[in-house]
Structure 1
């Protein structure tokens, strides 16, 4: 029996012997970019979500504490029906399968994105749980995330060897983005607030999931995570309009020009991190579907970065070196798949 199958069997045993529920069969719902896995089972004519969050990698206790804090601030989050944080197992009420992402189109986005953005002031009020203040999105974490890009995308995925001049350029870029990041007002940050982590519930409410990595960080982080989604891109004019309306409604004390710069450069930091994470998911975790999202994150870096003179060297590097290499590698991999398929005829 594989380790994953063993964990699933242990989860079912825990449900049947340590919770008020009985489970005859677990149906895999999905796995995400983390080590968590989600299952659905039926008990007493209701469906329940069972979560396997291996304690070596996941902090299920923090999930429970943040859920409590989010709920206290008026956010719809799953109820925790049973939990064993030592084992890394818990049961949640079922929010269904309808993500915000599923309902987005060129028309609905103009209603759904403002509705989702309106949740952020409640998220931002959550800077602590019942036990402690949320971790700070500090320089150590910021640096570690930047290094994911250089290690996993440039080195591991592309085999790219940086020159001394390129190292200096990346260091300058890091400093520009860090200055922007840490000058912003500090608020509660979900840290992965995007259309796949927002669920459409009954009465057209939006439920929030996947918040266990919440921190205290920059005021624009979750807004740019939502509007400049790593998995789907919208016209820049639409994003600018949504951002301006959000700023005017909730943060008119900050000039729009300053707020937009905060938003843009925070998005640059997030997409730099995400491109490295997507490469790591492929090489370390065998989750190769995320490779197709790397060009989109790099495209954001190029198009947004071109608006800021201090980022031109980095933009040129991504546009002329990184993006072509990523695309060439992707095309090469597709060609190999075609050749292998042809050889089996």
Structure 2
């Protein structure tokens, strides 16, 4: 819960800082977007045009990791927002304004092929960047945490399910196989939210946003995140075609992709891991952080799982859990994925 007085004080600081940086006492500031974390983004309009302020409140968000990552990516040719001014102790950054809607708002059935081709090109630039020493790892600990989100926040907190031994063992076996598959893939720079919502449709882009949490991770993670988005869905046949297109481009660029059939399985399994994690994460955002709107998109994860789980009998424990317990529990609610207040 925010403090209105603190919000007003922070707003006044933000406006004063913007006017000082831009040399315009009449500059105005309005909300541009809000992050799932504590960062927020504000559009300021002045005699110098339009710019974006990143507001990372001290003690709540540190903008330095974002800045370090931005420098690394820009130095290797990835299109990211330009930084025009900064005051780190105050938690303010002045950025170029990349325009209005994200790629998620621009994509449609007619232009998706062209935009995804460009997004694949940018992704290959990202994945080709050498990993610095000591770079974070999307390893066992993060995978275990993601698995725990699904059980604690979706199954238990949201649905009120307590699994019997057979169901719990089936889920644990499927989760273990998903984790082993992720750990067994080639590991390279991974965004973990490389999706249209975090891409801006600029002429020399798309430009990449929300990159501060990049890690060393599985090669299939970002491609499947791009085409099986948390907020935008496509027919499975188109997704499979785009994955094949990415695979060909990655192979041509010298990235360590396995044969196409293996890559397709890796992408499917990586998608399953991500989708069950998102079900838990979105429930946590609702119940812990009072951000319930994320659950509006949760039903698409059920659809993703329905599409792909039947391909893989090795994950039958998860499929049976979804069919025999999760779906009936959802139907017992007043509305699918309704959340309590």
- TM-score computed with the length of structure 1 as normaliser: 0.89
* 2:76 corresponds to 1:73: yes
Q: Distance in 1 between matches of 2:29 and 2:183?
A: 44
Deviates more, 1:250-259 or 1:182-191: 250-259
The residue correspondences of 1:1-80 to structure 2 (distance < 5 A) are: 1-16=4-19, 19=21, 21-22=23-24, 24-80=27-83
Bigger drift between 99-108 and 19-28 goes to 19-28
Judged with a 3 Å threshold, the aligned counterparts in structure 2 of structure 1 residues 330 and 42 are, in CA distance, closer, same or farther, namely farther
Residue number in structure 1 paired with 2:288: 284
Over aligned residues, Cα RMSD in angstroms?
2.4
Q: Is the 8 A contact 1:191 1:222 kept in 2?
A: yes
Over residues 20-62 of structure 1, what are the superposed CA-to-partner deviations in whole Å (9 max), with x where a residue is unaligned?
A: 5556432011113222211111233311111122354434111
- When residues 60 and 336 of structure 1 are mapped into structure 2, their CA distance, relative to the original with a 3 A threshold, is closer
State the shift of 1:103 in Å. 2.0
Alignment of 1:262-273 (within 5 A): 262-273=266-277
Specify whether residues 264 and 2 from structure 1 end up closer, same or farther in structure 2 by C-alpha distance, changes over 3 A only.
Answer: farther
Aligned with 2:312 (options 290, 308, 313): 308
Structure-2 separation of matches of 1:273 and 1:335: 18
Q: 2:337 and 2:213 mapped to 1: Cα distance?
A: 33
Distance 2:247 2:301 in 1: 24
Gaps of 5+ in 2: none
1:255 corresponds, among 259, 262, 268, to 259
More deviation, 145-154/316-325 = 316-325
**2:125 counterpart of 1:122:** yes
Q: Is the 8 A contact 1:61 1:85 kept in 2?
A: yes
Q: Which residue of 2 aligns with 1:99?
A: 102
Alpha-carbon contact 1:127-1:133 (below 8 Å) kept: no
Please name the residue that 2:329 is paired with: 325
Closer/same/farther in 2, CA of residues 22 and 139 from structure 1, 3 Å limit: farther
Aligned to 1:227: 227
User: Which residue pairs with 2:213 in the alignment?
Assistant: 213
**Partner SS, residue 247 of structure 1:** helix
Aligned partner of 2:144 in structure 1 is 143
TM-score, structure 2 normalization: 0.90
2: CA distance, partners of 1:327 / 1:105: 31
Name the structure 2 match of 1:134.
135
Superimposed CA distance per residue, residues 223-245 of structure 1 (whole angstroms, 9 cap, x where no aligned partner): 00001111121111111111112
Partner SS, residue 200 of structure 2: strand
- How many residues of Structure 1 are paired with residues of Structure 2 in the alignment? 333
